[in-house]
Chains A and B, each alone.
Chain A
Amino acid sequence: MKLSTFKKGLHPEDYKYFSHDKAIEILPLPDDVYIPLQQHIGVTCEPVVQKGDRVKTGQVIANTSAYVSAPVHSSITGVVKDIDKYYHPLGMRATMIHIKREGEEEWELLEKTADWKWTPKEKLLDTIRNAGIVGLGGATFPTHVKLNPPEDKSIDSFILNGVECEPYLTSDDRMMVEQTDKILLGMAIMMHILEVKKGYIGIENNKPEAIAQMQKRVVEIGYPFTVVPLKVKYPQGAEKMLIYSVLKRKVPFSKLPMDVGVVVNNVATAYAVAEAIIESKPLVQRVITVTGDGVNEPKNLMARLGTPFKNLFEACGGVKDNVHRIFMGGPMMGMTQYHLESPVVKGSSGIVAVTGELVEELSTFPCIRCGACVHTCPMNLMPMRLSKFSQARAIDKLDEFGIMNCIECGSCAFVCPANIPLVQWIKVGKVRLREEAAKKAKEKA
């Protein structure tokens, strides 16, 4: 059978063998958690607790009334020690709430939802918002916004993203194998909210166990979902690529998936939705893969949000002496970590420590115009030209060559034989273009 996929893209060595057969373990409760106020795209939350307050697990500690936002909950029971700037995994210092664990764990649950099938849509969306659920694949866009498209958009398909195309990561894979029913339930709830009939589950073919398990349970429970095995290719997990792979629809430039009638959500998000609606649990934990050849015992851990990365590494037997890079997320788009005190946030799907054996530092050569980046870019851009324009600050050229289409997947920099940091320059170019546009807008005003 020919598996469907998208055009171009590449196939990096996936290194999933470190942890793909390790069952999810629950990490012991950490003594300290550092919970950032902003873990999502949208408006930053304001803290609603003060230094010295006692908080329960699941209690809202920061919130805002803005629509595009999601509240933040305490992930352990204890005392608020401080609200200060701490190391954030995205490479800056951000305001976080430091909570010290004290006493037995007590839960503060959300308002109970009766049978979700007969609950009004607005109520379910409210519960999802109150649970603080955001896209857990890494983009962290608030889920209740995604599930509530404007009236004029007609949504006809729902895609569950179980692709996990980044090398190393296995958290979604393990979730699909171990929490199949809850994921499917979460998907059913989201489809109910959207009033969508057609549901697809996209899974890459390098996860045969997950595909078999999902297929089996879909048939047994009798959901009207289609499991779509996909050819292994990076960056298939990107929303636009996944929609093309599954439905052969192209999302136009600067439009959203809902413009072509599709909503995409991650399996971890589906799980969190099911937890919130069925068990009234807010989002206080997530599965995170701790892996890489620099970790002694790679594992998939269910960790509380805010747990410092060092706790995760300790639970995995520490890191090897010759660790070279540590990054959160996959190697293609992940952020390097400079401090192990940084906490797990809603968007962390994995933390990877690699030794120099797999990541070699190569010297940079001049561009030989081999066209590898052009032949690989899933968005059909010309990265070698864009990076040159970006270096030369040729702002109008950047716009002409469609720099804003770039999804920053890093494929171009991966394939470049000259080792030119193409995607990095494109990111710089985007900033330069935005700065220029802002300047022009200012001059007009």
Chain B
Amino acid sequence: MTEQKPAPEELKKEIKLETTPEKETIKEIDEKPKPDPRRRLFKSDRMTIVAPAPHNRGNKSVPRIMYTVIAALLPAIIISIMLFGTKAMITILVAVFAAMVAEYACNKIMKTGLTIDDGSAILTGILLAMTLPPSFPIARTALGAVVAIVFGKMVFGGLGANIFNPALLGRAFLQASFPVKITTWTLPAFAGVDSVTGATPLGQYFSDGTVTSLKSLLIGNVGGCIGETSAIALLIGGIFLIIIKHADWRIPLSYIGTVFVFSGILWLINPEAFPNPLFMMFSGGLILGAFFMATDMVTSPVTPMGTWIYGIGMGVVLVVIRIWGGLPEGVMYSILFMNGLVPLLNRWTRPKYFGEIQIEKKK
């Protein structure tokens, strides 16, 4: 085997199939164009591609993954528009538009090729909007989207290079800048009179101890961010993503499972002082975070072992923040915290390669 040192682009040189045999003299050609055997195979001057194997490819591609995730978010988007009306729709559209404009501007400034068509900016915009309360001012939504794209993604070098989930980074920025506006919740239209401000189930629980019924949590007619209220709609999209393998099943399982087990243990110890685990599972942004944000491919580990540690770590951080922290909600910080550990997890949890165990045993 010859092994060259090619840059992959250079490998795909098109080489023309020669149509005249090597040692043919000029004289012969002058006399009569000799019928070449390859002429019958290739009528025209065919070009074929000479490239290293593999010569076939799977059907996944980066844009396809991004657009599939967007499609999986559609049920939740539709439900949120039904619940919160046009305000929710406008917030989503503004966030998407601002994210795309920011990415376009970055592309121009950084002189990279246009990357707005790969769908990741749209996805970031949607996810950011879904973590905002419906009454959040439009200009600040746009600002959040720009921060998410510019400081969450493009400063690291664009898609694939970022450490933190861009949408959550944008939200963290908004939470730090506008702490009051971002915790002013509108109750859904059919939960009561339109545009009445109220608390989220978690906020309610930690202020006066009211536990919202499971049914309300599942359907979503409770206060909260645009995309986080309806657990069922999110589950439909999330399970779809897992079935088609665009999301790693280990992440939601270990994340939500840890929250359930950890808070369940606390609840068993003292049911009076701690919330019940089902309430913990379905309230707040846990479902949205676990299925759509923690599973963001760029910011989650690639190894199975790393993925388990990542999920369990998020679960523990979340419960600690919710119960002992000063904030009622901790999904965002739990994911961002574990995002920061992902490069280390990828390094520490190299899978044992095939046949490695046996060497160690023999030694």
Contact = CB atoms under 8 A, between A and B. Distances in A.
Contacts of B43: 321
Interface residues of B, number: 63
B297 A371 contact: yes
B356 A338 contact: no
A333 interface: yes
A49 B37 CA distance: 29
A424 B160 contact: no
Size category of the A interface is 35 or more
B303 A371 contact: yes
B42 interface: yes
Contact of B118 (A250, A365, A371): A365
Interface string B194-236: 0000000000000000000000000000000000000000000
Interface string B1-45: 111011010011001011000000000000000000110111110
A365 B159 contact: yes
A244 B357 CA distance: 14
Contacts of A331: 53-56
B54 A382 contact: no
Interface in A333-382: 333-340, 352, 354, 358-362, 364-372, 374-375, 378-382
A401 B350 contact: yes
Interface string A416-429: 11111101110110
B53 A335 contact: yes
B56 A167 contact: yes
Nearest to B246: A370
Given A365-B159, A417-B65, A336 B49 contact: yes
Contact of A92 (B2, B298, B302): B2
B111 interface: no
A338 B302 contact: no
B309 to A, nearest CB: 14
Interface string B64-96: 110000000000000000000000000000000
A43 to B, nearest CB: 16
B351 A382 contact: yes
A361 B56 CA distance: 9
B350 A405 contact: no
Interface stretch (A58-66, A217-225, A312-320): A312-320
Given A372-B60, A428-B5, A250 B358 contact: yes
Nearest to B342: A369
B350 A340 contact: no
A419 B355 contact: no
B355 A251 contact: yes
A423 B52 CA distance: 9
A77 B358 CA distance: 52
A327 interface: yes
B8 A421 contact: yes
A240 B56 contact: no
B103 interface: no
A368 B58 contact: no
Nearest to B54: A410
Interface in B237-269: 248
Interface string A381-403: 11011000000000000000110
B108 interface: no
Which residue, of B297, B302, B346, has the highest number of chain A Cβ atoms within 10 A? B302
Contacts of A335: 53
B180 interface: no
A370 B301 CA distance: 8
A338 B48 CA distance: 8
B357 A250 contact: yes
B65 A370 contact: yes
Given A90-B2, A401-B350, 19 more contacts: A250-B354, A251-B355, A326-B48, A332-B55, A333-B53, A337-B48, A340-B17, A340-B38, A366-B157, A370-B65, A374-B303, A382-B346, A410-B54, A418-B160, A419-B57, A423-B53, A428-B3, A428-B5, A432-B5
- Closest 10 pairs between A and B when the two form their complex, measured CB to CB: A371-B302, A366-B160, A410-B54, A417-B60, A331-B55, A370-B297, A365-B62, A421-B8, A331-B56, A252-B355
